[in-house]
Chains A and B, each alone.
Chain A
Amino acid sequence: MTRIVSIAALMALLGAAAALAAEPPTRAEYVGQLEAICKPDAAATQVAMRGARGDLQAERLGVATTKFSKAARIFGGTVKRIAAVPRPPADEAKLGKWFGLLERQESYLRQITAQLRGGKAIKAQRLTARFIHSGNLANNVVLAFGFDYCSFKFSRYG
């Protein structure tokens, strides 16, 4: 009998724990979780892109392309990881729009890399304008979240 009661108590505890774990995060908790993911990636982007401007200036397109490629990989990885974090239900629509813009940015970064690899500077230049524009739009969507590392900052890209 005692054993049955203990098992029932344990089950109840586990159930409570599961319910707690499934509880959606508040906006503040969500921002904290995302910033922890974005912080190292923002630093890695800066390292990867260091000197890219100078490389383009010196017409070292190959070197610049490698840097853009690395940045695109980091960006894609970050988006994938932060997209997996449970979202506050009240912010679902806003965050859905934000992730849409982040995916668009990721796509532009990949396209920039491809165009630079193909020596098509003007196309890469146009895509850069779109990449920056999408970044600014994305920032505006989540302005109230007060992101720092998860917000788009052009200065991180060389």
Chain B
Amino acid sequence: MSERRRRAARRALGALVIALLAVAVGAATAGGERTQVGHLIVSLDGGLAPLALPRDHPAPVAVRLAGGLRTTDGTLLPRVTRVELSLPGQGILDTHGLPVCPARRLRAATTSGALAACRDALVGRGRLKAQVHVPNQPAFAVHAKLLAFNGKVRGRRAVIFHGFAANPPTVVVLPFLLRLETGRLRTRLVADLPPELGPWPHFAQFEVNLFRRFRFHGRERSYLSASCPIPKQFTAGFFSFAKASFTLAGGRRVGTSITRSCRAR
């Protein structure tokens, strides 16, 4: 494989990992909610497991997010400069006592290498599929495995995504900074994409599952926890579950959000 193709694949993967987190995903994502702006379609799907949760205190949960960014006419995707993934504020993201993986340990690592270096900090797994268009060359597909690690960037909590594709050999490490803001979806993961990633990704599907149980000071903890705080007379509730926003080169933003339910136990 030529160095040019490899570089293009790396760029594509980088942009998509970002988008991925940004939209986070799985095998085939035709489902979920979609929004179209011009010729660009943003999709987002996902959910909580288990669905049945206590009304009054948080319990460990896994979060699945899946989505994609594509164009209706097959043209190249615009360059994405920032990806934001927002989750409900009533969910808890607990990293207290969870080992931290420095991003430098992941650079140039395969999936097994990344696991060997940072397994203690693993908080999720996923997949990514990208179709890459390099000028004057036929399009080719990149299938990457994703790993998510607990990390820190400039002293702030982060989720560090590591994407690896065997063919062409491609590694991308992308940190999403954790921001706690106001509003309903106030847990926000934000990744700024370096401009050198370029506009290569033509079509992308991705999936990520975040889940981690760990022990700290003899106590069982969960990376993610949530409750289903609904009134006694109801058995289920609906809530804004996630929102994915992409800032495109030029400043335009596109995004979509999804609504999900929980059951009280």
Listed in ascending order, the chain A residues whose CB lies under 8 Å from chain B are 56-59, 121-122, 125, 128-129, 132, 136, 139-140, 143-146, 151, 153-155
Q: Is B75 an interface residue (CB 8 A)?
A: no
Apart from A125-B236, A155-B240, what are 17 other A-B pairs with CB-CB below 8 Å? A56-B234, A59-B231, A121-B233, A121-B234, A125-B235, A125-B237, A132-B238, A139-B35, A140-B34, A144-B36, A144-B72, A146-B36, A153-B257, A154-B240, A154-B257, A154-B259, A155-B257
B65 to chain A, nearest CB (A): 17
Q: How far is B30's CA from A154's CA once the two chains are assembled, in angstroms? A: 20
A143 contact set on B, CB distance < 8 A: 34-36, 41
Whether A139 contacts B33 in the complex (CB less than 8 A), given A129-B261, A132-B259, A155-B240, comes out as: yes
23 A-B interface contacts by CB (under 8 A):
A56-B234, A57-B229, A57-B230, A57-B231, A59-B231, A59-B232, A121-B231, A122-B235, A128-B238, A129-B261, A132-B238, A136-B33, A139-B33, A139-B34, A139-B35, A143-B36, A146-B37, A146-B38, A151-B35, A153-B257, A155-B184, A155-B240, A155-B257
B240 to chain A, nearest CB (A): 5
Q: How far is B33's CA from A140's CA once the two chains are assembled, in angstroms? A: 8
A56 contact set on B, CB distance < 8 A: 231, 234
Within 8 A of A (CB), among B197-243: 229-238, 240
User: Could you tell me if B238 and A129 are in contact, using CB atoms closer than 8 angstroms?
Assistant: yes
Q: How far is B184's CA from A73's CA once the two chains are assembled, in angstroms? A: 26
B233 contact set on A, CB distance < 8 A: 59, 121-122
Q: How far is B75's CA from A91's CA once the two chains are assembled, in angstroms? A: 24
Listed in ascending order, the chain B residues whose CB lies under 8 Å from chain A are 33-38, 41, 72, 184, 229-238, 240, 257, 259, 261
B257 contact set on A, CB distance < 8 A: 153-155
B38 contact set on A, CB distance < 8 A: 146
Q: How far is B237's CA from A140's CA once the two chains are assembled, in angstroms? A: 23
User: Could you tell me if A122 and B234 are in contact, using CB atoms closer than 8 angstroms?
Assistant: yes
Q: Which residue of A lies closest to B183 (CB)?
A: A155
Q: How far is B235's CA from A128's CA once the two chains are assembled, in angstroms? A: 12
A154 contact set on B, CB distance < 8 A: 238, 240, 257, 259
Q: How far is B51's CA from A123's CA once the two chains are assembled, in angstroms? A: 20
Q: How far is B259's CA from A129's CA once the two chains are assembled, in angstroms? A: 10
B41 contact set on A, CB distance < 8 A: 143
Q: How far is B35's CA from A140's CA once the two chains are assembled, in angstroms? A: 8
Q: How far is B55's CA from A57's CA once the two chains are assembled, in angstroms? A: 11
A146 contact set on B, CB distance < 8 A: 36-38
